[in-house]
Structure 1
Amino acid sequence: MNVPVWLWFATIGGLLAIILADLLLVDHKPHAVTIKEATRWVLFYVALAVLFGLGLWFFAGGQYAGEFFAGYITEYSLSVDNLFVFVIIMSSFKVPAIHQHRVLLVGIVIALVMRGAFIAVGAAAINALSWVFYVFAAFLIYTAVNMVRQGMGGGDEDWQEPRVVGWVRRLFPVTEDYHGSKTTVKLDGRRWVTPMLIVMIAIGLTDLLFALDSIPAIFGLTQEPFLVFTANAFALMGLRQLYFLLGGLLRKLVYLSYGLAVILAFIGVKLVLHALHENELPFLNGGEPIPVPEVSIAVSLLVIVGVLAITTVLSLVAVRRNPALAEGHGAVTVPVAHDAAEAAEMDAHDREVDQRQAAADATHQR
């Protein structure tokens, strides 16, 4: 796939424009997100991804469009599982509801920048060394096994602060309370970092850790850096609103980790087949390619969508029959407002806290 430089710049510029518009439209007045608002934004971002995929179909052909959609669905589904940890991070840092949208926006922008670098390194590696596919495959299968083990024992509450966050805490003094949406504040003539900055860094770095399995997974579906990057970008942009939309539904997806494990294992096997087809290792078939069947992108899409659908249905049926299953699957929930009245009540509470903190800041600054 030949992607001119101007198209890269146009795509990145368009994505930045969308993020900026989101920031201006939603975050110009911090507020608790309602279910209706989150639904509209999720549909908007999904529609953008679909339009982008249709554009690929028209200009580049069905093969590349299929690879994009397979990568996008895989990245989005893996991101849903990551939302469990995002909920725990937000709860651990006690982020006010009116500021959670901004935290996710900045955290995901940080993650997107770092993923871009990760994708560039991965693309260079697979172009130079075909055996990297074996490494990716082994890692995906290993991750799939771990997902099954965590699904059996429940491991979502085991999140630990990234070391970089600990370094920030040691380098800069951190206030105990939030100061509105400020990331730094000057108190008693000294510059302090607020928990807002710490949680943004935590979200961004934690998402990068998740990319260790999602990036190899999408390279198992397409080796085109442009498609890998755009699939990640659209998945991450829609992730923020999905966080608020799913809310309590996250607790009901009790079998999601098993479904994702199946998908990762499937892509791992697909990578092995692709690596054998491109084989250059001297101890395998004398360094010559091995004529093995490869999995088509159509089959990949069918498997991914089918596994996700079956996993979701089985989860909801299981929870309906035994509600206790959801009780142990994530002890915290997303503070999302069900209607405008509830949102206004949450906003009033958080703004009152912000005003009290602002008054205390003014006293310190005197």
Structure 2
Amino acid sequence: MSVPFWVWVVTIVALLAVLALDLAIVGRRPHEVGVREAARWVAVYVGLAALFAAGLMLVAGQARATEFIAGYVLEYSLSVDNLFVFLLIMGAFAVPRVHQHRVLLFGILIALVLRGGFILAGAAVVARFSWVFYLFGAFLVLTAVKVVTGGGEDEEFRENAVLRLLRRVLPMTDDYVGTRSVVRRRTDGGRLRWFVTPMLLVMLAIGTTDLLFALDSIPAIFGLTRDPYIVFTANVFALMGLRQLYFLLGGLLAKLVYLSWGLGVILAFIGVKLVLEALHTNTLPFLNGGRPVDVPVISIQVSLAVIVGVLIVTTVASLVRARVDARSAQPSALGREDHPAATTPSAGS
């Protein structure tokens, strides 16, 4: 689908207007976001994505709308994994809960800019070198194995090179100053000087860390569609709703014990799909004489069904597992209450 330049401009301006409205609401009264408020905002952003898909269907047809929906669901599901890292970052920087909403908003804005550049570069590579899908496919399969085996999980947040560099070159305060990212303070010599607050650092941490997740999510969505406009808008809508999902899920994240398995299956599936498409349009001279290989190609409808199906199964299985674990823990807790001597030292000991 060839998208005119003015459509890109209108789309970006409209998305920025939505984010500006969100920022105005947040900036008006900083507060802790409750589950009910988060649920309303998640519904709003999902509704906006649905309206965009409907408009895309009217303008570009059902195939493009289905590609957007599949890409949106894929990016949203893969972005849930970001939330675990966001929790670690918030804890590492001791961000006050009243300011976490604002931190996530600006952090995700940084992530959108970085992802936009990544998408443009990826689209240029895909358009010129079709064989790159072999690399994308192999990378996604290897990433899937790593995700399932837990090789990519960290129990604590480690600052990347960008953050370490900023700490060395910029003067920084030890405490937060409301929502301000920079502040003027007097040095020991009495001279006024600009200082960076931890607020700026944590925003950059959110934005730059997200780019690491884009290393697998962007190649994955190119396995569903090669249209950079659909890739970009699917990423934007997914990230816009991610901030509210952070507050909605909260402690539920720890209960999604099978989420990594589901994401691994999805990544492996998209990886296989990419390899099949690369074979179907093969131009490598050392493979089948540089001719396309007659292999089946997975349709976008099948891809969407697999992604949604895997997410439903893993979510339900995780919640069932959490309920079973909770029930099995009750008898032991009751046993400790009925036999306090088992846990409390006797007077003669």
Same fold (TM over 0.5): yes
- Contact kept, 8 Å, 2:262 with 2:311, in 1: the verdict is yes
Specify the alignment match of 1:43 in structure 2.
43
2:243 aligned to which of 231, 236, 240: 240
Specify the alignment match of 2:337 in structure 1.
none
Specify the alignment match of 1:145 in structure 2.
145
State how 1:82-121 maps to structure 2 within 5 Å: 82-121=82-121
The amino acid that maps onto 1:103 is: V
Identity %: 63
Specify the alignment match of 1:177 in structure 2.
175
Specify the alignment match of 1:333 in structure 2.
none
Change (3 A) 1:325 1:200: farther
The amino acid that maps onto 1:96 is: P
Specify the alignment match of 2:153 in structure 1.
155
The amino acid that maps onto 1:65 is: A
Q: How far did 1:26 drift?
A: 2.4
Specify the alignment match of 2:302 in structure 1.
299
The amino acid that maps onto 1:52 is: F
Cα shift readout 1:83-111 (whole Å, capped 9, x = no counterpart): 01101100110001111011000000000
Partner secondary structure for residue 176 of structure 2: coil
Distance (Å, rounded) in 2 between the aligned partners of 1:154 and 1:55: 38
Q: How far did 1:81 drift?
A: 1.3
Cα shift readout 1:124-157 (whole Å, capped 9, x = no counterpart): 001100111011111111110110111xx78241
1:271 aligned to which of 260, 267, 274: 274
Specify the alignment match of 1:355 in structure 2.
none
- Contact kept, 8 Å, 1:85 with 1:157, in 2: the verdict is no
Specify the alignment match of 2:212 in structure 1.
209
Q: How far did 1:158 drift?
A: 3.9
Q: Give structure 2 stretches of 5+ with no counterpart.
A: 187-191, 330-349
Q: Which has the larger radius of gyration?
A: 2
The amino acid that maps onto 2:321 is: A
Distance (Å, rounded) in 2 between the aligned partners of 1:279 and 1:33: 51
Distance (Å, rounded) in 2 between the aligned partners of 1:172 and 1:304: 44
The amino acid that maps onto 1:228 is: V
Distance (Å, rounded) in 2 between the aligned partners of 1:173 and 1:227: 41
Specify the alignment match of 2:67 in structure 1.
67
Specify the alignment match of 2:333 in structure 1.
none
In the TM superposition, structure 1's runs of 4+ consecutive aligned residues that sit over 4 Å from their partners are none
- Contact kept, 8 Å, 1:253 with 1:315, in 2: the verdict is yes
Partner secondary structure for residue 247 of structure 1: helix
2:197 aligned to which of 187, 194, 205: 194
Change (3 A) 1:171 1:325: farther
Q: Give structure 1 stretches of 5+ with no counterpart.
A: 327-366
Partner secondary structure for residue 292 of structure 2: coil
Specify the alignment match of 2:255 in structure 1.
252
Specify the alignment match of 1:332 in structure 2.
none
Change (3 A) 1:3 1:167: same
Which shifted more, 156-165 or 40-49?
A: 156-165
Specify the alignment match of 1:56 in structure 2.
56
Q: How far did 1:34 drift?
A: 1.3
Specify the alignment match of 1:136 in structure 2.
136
Specify the alignment match of 2:332 in structure 1.
none
Partner secondary structure for residue 183 of structure 2: strand
Partner secondary structure for residue 301 of structure 1: helix
The amino acid that maps onto 1:35 is: V
Partner secondary structure for residue 99 of structure 1: helix
Bigger RCO of structures 1 and 2 (CA < 8 A, at least 6 apart)? 1
Which shifted more, 165-174 or 154-163?
A: 154-163
The amino acid that maps onto 2:237 is: F
Specify the alignment match of 1:125 in structure 2.
125
- Contact kept, 8 Å, 2:220 with 2:270, in 1: the verdict is yes
Q: How far did 1:289 drift?
A: 1.1
- Contact kept, 8 Å, 2:88 with 2:156, in 1: the verdict is no
Distance (Å, rounded) in 2 between the aligned partners of 1:98 and 1:245: 15
Distance (Å, rounded) in 2 between the aligned partners of 1:177 and 1:255: 38
Specify the alignment match of 1:335 in structure 2.
none
- Contact kept, 8 Å, 1:27 with 1:101, in 2: the verdict is no
Change (3 A) 1:324 1:204: farther
Distance (Å, rounded) in 1 between the aligned partners of 2:139 and 2:42: 31
Distance (Å, rounded) in 2 between the aligned partners of 1:92 and 1:27: 24
The amino acid that maps onto 1:120 is: L
The amino acid that maps onto 1:41 is: W
Change (3 A) 1:278 1:203: same
